[in-house]
Amino acid sequence: MKHVLLAICAIIVVACQAPAPKVIKEYSIEQFYKNTRIGGGAFSDDETKLLVSSDDSGIFNVYEITIADGTRKQITKSLEDSYFAIDYVPGTDEILYSADKGGNEISHIYRLSPDGSVKDLTDEEAEKANFFGWSEDKKSFYYTSNKRDEKYFDLYKMNTESWTSEMLYENTDGINISDISYDEQWFLSSETITTSENKLYLDNRLTKERVEISTEPGSYGSSGFSKDNKTLYYETDIGKEFSYLNKYDIASGKSEVIYETNWDVMYSYLSENEKYRVIGINEDGKNNLVILDTKSGKEVAFPEVPDADIKGVRIADSENLMRLTIGTSKAPNNLYVYNIETNELKQLTNTLSPEINSDDLVSAEVVRYNSFDGLEIPAIYYKPHKASADAKVPGLVWVHGGPGGQSRIGYSSFIQYLVNHGYAVLAVNNRGSSGYGKTFYKMDDLNHGDKDLKDCIWGKKWLQSQDYIDQKKIGIIGGSYGGYMTMAALAFTPDEFKTGVNIFGVTNWLRTLKSIPPFWESFRNALYKELGDPFTQDSVRLHAISPLFHAENITKPTMVLQGANDPRVLQVESDEMVEAIKKNDVPVEYVIFEDEGHGFIKKENEIKAYGQVLQFLDKYLKEEEVISKD
């Protein structure tokens, strides 16, 4: 009987054991960057082709995709600067695209003719120009440009027959154009007050009268005019935590709500003949798309794609075809075309590297944890397949840019590469992040490097509470504002994280806020109200929260990555930070790219940068012995 009992117990023990960790293949950084990024998707006049941007060549170039069979043709062949497709010129075989120089963000608009000749349509050297849309007759396009005054963007109209332009709106006070009616009588313009508040104005171009739409303080965004020029649409968060869609009757001045939900309405627009309304919703870190039939008010149904995050949509002028940009957490964005009449959904691209099995990648998961004061913090989590209580893995707290950015569900080659090599990644949405209501968004105003940093530390504690995480091996990583948070963690809480990776992060707020690019002038005061004015008494606090001035506290291995052409966080920020850390006799690695700006866009640079990040983490975070000065 005793033997029988022992046998039963043995069976029970085996049955209750956790399943063995999944065996996966590890991939190199080169394999991960054989993925293809793709964006845009403008329909040709005959709706047989799409104009897209893709980095299949190593940097972004302009391509055409034939809808019938998915074949792709490379149109531009740049080897140095990335080119981004804008649109076909209606009624012609010409193409518009945008490009800057080495990531300096001084973008120009170019015209490409069928014979291969290229014309810079906005050719003043320091001119920054942005495409703004087509005129009603499709014979002209609108664009904004700061060529008159580098601080402000005026609105121009360029005729595509004569290729001459005229100014329609002169911006002399930082009130930026947001939209224009089809008959060009009405302008919608926005004045930034803070990062969470702006004013919205309706200007009559003929009478020069201005009416303020923003009757109460809050956030307002344009969603266009009706075809009959009698109605404008806008999003606002007045009286609510989340943004909702309103319509405004120009004659009566009355507004009414036409769509709201319990998440932010990010954008909305009408199709060419107003048959459909597209509404984009930021739902818990993931895009949700609603398309309404404007006559019936009913939602337009289209086939579901598993784990899909619909990043964008464009409805053809015929209103029969719809281009969808769809990504998942396990695959980069792909382009689909949906035929509304036949209900056929056709996938045109397959962007995941052919050398990678998507089953070896992980799906992102939304998690929440309580911070130091009980505030619930949302986060996007990536758990390695190999992680288990018997095979503990190191963790990384990932901090997004901003400061008001948001980590969202979606594909990241870099994150999947780290997870594939055994790192758990918790992408925190600390207080001050967008997407979780205006109260949450404002919580870090004039408090950066304090409570938002504690949210990251409590994210570390959440990681430590997982039985498959090695509690002593948790680092912090982030880009831009996330890079600042990384350095703040290492300088102000030097015992919390074992390593840090700073990707073009702010380290001296006094310098950064004084050296804001001139084309950000209309946004300058809003930044100062959130972060502090370096020309006032705020400079004391800004000095106190700048890691550079507290570098002597940094005792943990640090890696810094920087683009030499970055106009937002100047290279000198990283230069000085690295030199200061070296004085502590602490391991520090520094990677600079002469041909990048605020973000790395060339595949060869991404391969070098992120491959070295993994090597750094393997050496200083994953290994048992770490050289640090305690």
pLDDT digits (tens, 9 = 90+) for 87-116: 999 999 999 999 999 999 999 999 999 999
Residue 301 has a pLDDT of 81
What distance in Å separates the CA atoms of residue 594 and residue 305, rounded to the nearest whole number? 40
Write out the two tokens for 162.
């004569």
Its sign, for the CA torsion 372, 405, 242, 216, is: positive
pLDDT at 21: 60
Taking only the tens place, the pLDDT of each residue in 143-191 is 999 999 999 999 999 999 999 999 999 999 999 999 999 999 999 999 9
Q: Per the confidence metrics, is the pTM higher than 0.85?
A: yes
Q: Which CATH class is domain 358-508+546-622?
A: alpha beta
CATH of domain 38-146: 2.120.10.30
Q: What is the DSSP string of 128-144?
A: -EEEEEE-TTSSEEEEE
pLDDT digits (tens, 9 = 90+) for 515-527: 988 888 888 999 9
DSSP conformation letters of 474-534: EEEEEETHHHHHHHHHHHHSTTT-S-EEEES--S-HHHHHHS--GGGHHHHHHHHHHH--T
What residue ranges do the domains of the chain occupy?
A: 38-146, 358-508+546-622
Residues 353, 32: contact at Cβ < 8 Å?
Answer: yes
Q: What is the pLDDT of residues 297-314, one digit of tens each?
A: 899 887 777 667 788 899
Pairwise CA distance, residues 135 & 87, whole Å: 13
Tens digits of per-residue pLDDT, 395-412? 999 999 988 999 999 899
* pLDDT tens by residue, 239-278: 999 999 999 999 999 999 999 999 999 999 999 999 999 9
Residue 285, SS3? coil
Q: What is the pLDDT of residue 629?
A: 41
Helix axes 481-492, 451-464, angle to 10 degrees: 80
CB within 8 Å of 221: residues ≥ 6 apart: 178, 190, 234, 235, 236, 243, 267
Distance CA 522, CA 146 (A): 12
Only one residue has tokens 């912090």, namely 476
- pLDDT tier at 4, thresholds 50, 70, 90: very low
Would you state the pLDDT for residue 20?
59
Beta bridge partners of 292: 277, 299
Instruction: Write the single-letter amino acid at 378.
Output: P
pLDDT, position 12: 39
Q: What's the rounded Cα separation, in Å, for the pair 360 and 198? A: 45
Sequence-distant (≥ 6) Cβ neighbours of residue 613 within 8 angstroms: 414, 418, 477, 501, 559, 561
Structure tokens at 622: 């994953």
At residue 6, does pLDDT exceed 90? no
**Sorting pLDDT into bands at 50, 70 and 90, what band is 19?**
low
pLDDT digits (tens, 9 = 90+) for 186-234: 999 999 999 999 999 999 999 999 999 998 999 999 999 999 999 999 9
How many CA atoms lie within 13 Å of 575's alpha carbon, on the beta-carbon side?
7
Using only the alpha carbons of the chain, give its radius of gyration. Answer: 26
> Is 328 in a helix, a strand, or coil?
strand
Contact of 104 with 69, CB cutoff 8 Å: no
Q: Give which of 451, 450, 562, 545 is closest to 502, Cα–Cα.
A: 562
The CA distance from 315 to 339, in Å, is 10
2 pLDDT more than 60: no
